[in-house]
Amino acid sequence: MVVAVHVTEWTLPVGMTFPCPHKEIPPRSETALVVNRHGGQLDAVARRNGRPHIVSAPTREMSGVVRGIDYYELLGVDRTASSAEIKSAYRSLAKVMHPDAGGTPGTFRLLREAYETLRDPRRRAAYDRGKDDGAQASSPTPPSPPTPPQPRRTRGTTTRPWMGRTTGFGRQREFGVDPDFVPTLPRLGPEVIPWWHEVDPGERVRYVPSTAPSPESVLAALGGWLLLLVVGLLVDLSPLLVAVWLVLVAGVTTVVVGLGRRLLAARGVDRGFALEFGGRRVFGRPAAEPTHLAEQLTAELLSRYLTRLPGVRIFHGLAWPGSVFADVDHAVLCGRRLVLIESKTWLPGHYTADETGALWRNGHPFRGGAVRLPDGVAAYRELLPDVEVRGAVLVYPSRAGSVTTDEPADISAPPMSPELFVEHIGDWLAEEPATVDRNLFRTLLRQVVSEEPYPDC
């Protein structure tokens, strides 16, 4: 069972227990708390500097009077907020409250309940009426924070905080993620990119599926029309043949005019499609938080190198089909080829993947991070059965050192270094460097959740 209370937030690191209840602690802000009685997990959803924030701490079952949570306060919107504002607030909170992002199922269920209630006009009106009626009644006093469980001690032992492994002289061992290290992108010259000089960045983009007649059919109709004119002018025809000639000329003229109109209309459609998006080639925004540095590096990598292909369209923050979360970090579309990308900062080393997709680092099974990209590749292959879809896990070092990978294995999401990605994936996309599939483009644009969708999509 999941219940909700309003208590005061304390300045506690994630995972620490409540302080002694007899010690007076200055309150910081009013915070909505969600308590899962079965899991024993308490999540505090607050907003710091206008952004959603979660504080978690283990707790016992809470006793006392419980007060219902305010759905508007949970989502961080006014009572007069529009449906679009409620949806935007829900998406922002869902990114950090989803169980895959560190939240708990109980927290996420409550957030989902708030969103489902406020986005439905009838349910929202009923909820508002209930809140107005309840506001007239006196509010119960919030419960005091529970006393945290104390660890058992055995005679002759003491408890000390865990300070990490140290070397023989008391210095902390140099291993794990370095919080002060900032990875950078490699500088790749054209001489090390095999496909670079084979691509003309100024080539005219070809939009498909095309509604224009083929150039061969237009030339054939025009040639037949001119031939008929020459025959009628140079050959002495009988009255019957003249009548036949006139009928043929009229028919071919009709065909030529129809093909010309179709050609002009198709060019108008192409120009309208190009103007609709203002020549943009990048859609969506990578995560801006410092914890998502890998995504920011990949966004710069894609813009720096792959935009040399005239037909490339880049997307950041895509949802799986049927989802509202940014499940895929990046996607690159060129022609009828699509690559999905997940960005990671992991320890330096040599990364490989076996035939099952399991990751290995320096010859040992890698357990330093999980990837969801194989599921994303499978979902998009089902959504786009006629498109070549593949994945790549881009790995950057989380501390001083280098990341290396093997040539991409024949699996859905192999690990790749930035250098190998530009060389291998760029060459794969360069098969149709100047082709844009309008239907595929619009399908992917609808999946972008990191910016408001376009009205026509």
242 and 328 co-located in one domain: no
Residues 323, 269, single domain; the answer is: no
Query: Do the beta carbons of residue 136 and residue 142 sit within 8 Å?
Result: no
What local confidence, expressed as pLDDT, does residue 121 receive? Answer: 87
Range with lowest mean pLDDT among 117-126, 142-151, 185-194, 366-375: 142-151
Same domain, 293 and 433: yes
Between 180 and 379, the higher pLDDT residue: 379
The full length of the chain comes to 457
Burial (CB < 10 A; 0-12, 13-18, 19+), residue 164, is exposed
Q: Locate 293 and state its tokens.
A: 């540095």
Q: Which residue has the higher pLDDT, 231 or 35?
A: 231
Specify the pLDDT at position 25.
36
Whether residue 332 sits in one domain with residue 236: no
Q: Are residues 333 and 196 in the same domain?
A: yes
Same domain, yes or no: 292 and 436? yes
Q: What is the chain's alpha carbon radius of gyration, rounded to the nearest angstrom?
A: 31
- Expressed as residue numbers, the domain containing 228 is 214-276
Q: Residue 181 in 3-state DSSP?
A: coil
Residue 89 lies in a domain: yes
For residues 256 and 377, state if they share a domain.
no
Q: Which of 352, 353, 339 is nearest to 421 (CA)?
A: 339
Is the same domain home to 103 and 10? yes
* 285 part of a folded domain: yes
* Position 161 in a domain: no
Domain-located, residue 54: yes
- Residue 45 near residue 97, CB atoms below 8 Å: yes
Of 276, 302, 326, which residue sits at a domain end?
Answer: 276
State the pLDDT at residue 73. 87
State yes or no: pLDDT of 4 exceeds 80.
no
Q: Round to whole Å and give the CA distance between 201 and 215.
A: 24
Give the C-alpha distances (Å, rounded to integers) separating 14 from 28, 41, 53, 63, 331: 16, 12, 11, 23, 33
Do 262 and 198 share a domain, yes or no? Answer: no
Write down the pLDDT at residue 271: 75
| Predicted confidence band of residue 287 (pLDDT cuts 50, 70, 90) | confident
Asked if 350 contacts 405 with a C-beta cutoff of 8 angstroms, the reply is: yes
Domain boundary among 255, 276, 297: 276
pLDDT tens by residue, 253-264: 888 888 887 777
* Residue range 302-312, pLDDT digits in tens: 999 999 999 99
Q: Which residue, 243, 276, 309, sits at the end of a domain?
A: 276
Residue 278: what pLDDT? 64
Q: Are 282 and 303 in contact (CB under 8 A)?
A: yes
Sort residue 8 into left (φ over 0), alpha (ψ -120 to 50) or beta. Answer: beta
- pLDDT score for 115: 86
- pLDDT score for 370: 86
Say how many C-beta atoms besides its own lie within 10 A of residue 424's C-beta. 17
Tokens 């919107």: give the residue. 77
Residue 240 has pLDDT above 80, yes or no: yes
Residue at 376 is within a domain: yes
Concatenate the DSSP letters of all residues of 310-347 into one string: TT-EEEEEEPPTT--S--EEEEEEEBTEEEEEEEEEE-
Q: Which residue has the higher pLDDT, 99 or 320?
A: 320
What gap in Å lies between CA 397 and CA 133, rounded to an integer? Answer: 56
Question: Does residue 338 belong to any structural domain of this protein?
Answer: yes
Contact by Cβ (8 Å): 289, 180: no
For residue 238, is pLDDT > 70?
Answer: yes
Per-chain mean pLDDT for the chain: 76
Name the percent of the chain in helix, strand, coil, to the closest 5. Answer: 35, 20, 45
Residue 235 has pLDDT above 60, yes or no: yes
Least confident of 101-105, 127-131, 141-145, 377-381: 141-145
Q: What is the mean pLDDT of residues 339-354?
A: 95
Amino acid at 410: D
- Determine the Cα–Cα distance for residues 457 and 443; give it in Å rounded to an integer: 8
Strand order in the sheet with 30-36: 2-8, 30-36, 41-48, 51-58
370-405 pLDDT, tens digit per residue, is 899 999 999 999 999 999 999 999 999 999 999 999
Tell me the percentage of the chain whose pLDDT exceeds 70: 72
pLDDT score recorded for residue 9: 37
Q: Are residues 112 and 72 in the same domain?
A: yes
Does any domain span residue 145? no
Backbone angle region of 398, left / alpha / beta, with phi > 0 → left and psi within -120 to 50 → alpha: alpha
Q: Measure the CA–CA gap between 357 and 340, rounded to whole angstroms.
A: 16
Residue 103 is predicted with a pLDDT of: 76
- Tell me which residue of 77, 156, 143 sits closest to 114, measured CA to CA: 77
Residue 374: its pLDDT value, please?
95
Tell me what pLDDT residue 451 has: 64
Position 89 scores a pLDDT of 87
415 in Cβ contact with 430 (< 8 Å):
no
CB 93 within 8 A of CB 52: yes
Instruction: Give domain status of residue 119, yes or no.
Output: yes
Amino acid residing at 334: C
Buried b (16+ CB within 10 A) or exposed e, 186-211: eebeeeebebbeebeeeeeeebeeee
DSSP-derived secondary structure letter, 203: P
Say whether both 267 and 384 belong to one domain.
Answer: no
Beta-carbon contacts of 112 under 8 Å, excluding residues fewer than 6 positions away, are none
More confident: 84 or 64: 84
Predicted local distance difference test score (pLDDT) of residue 433: 95
pLDDT of residue 100: 66
List Cβ neighbours of 322 (8 Å cut-off, separation of 6 or more).
none
- Whether 281 has a pLDDT exceeding 90, the answer reads yes
What percentage of the chain exceeds 90 in pLDDT? Answer: 37
Instruction: Report the CATH number at residue 91.
Output: 1.10.287.110
Q: Is 111 within 8 Å of 97 (Cβ atoms)?
A: yes
**What is the pLDDT, as a whole number, of residue 20?**
39
Given pLDDT bands bounded at 50, 70 and 90, which one contains residue 37? very low
How many structural domains compose the chain? 3
Is residue 268 located within the same domain as residue 309? no
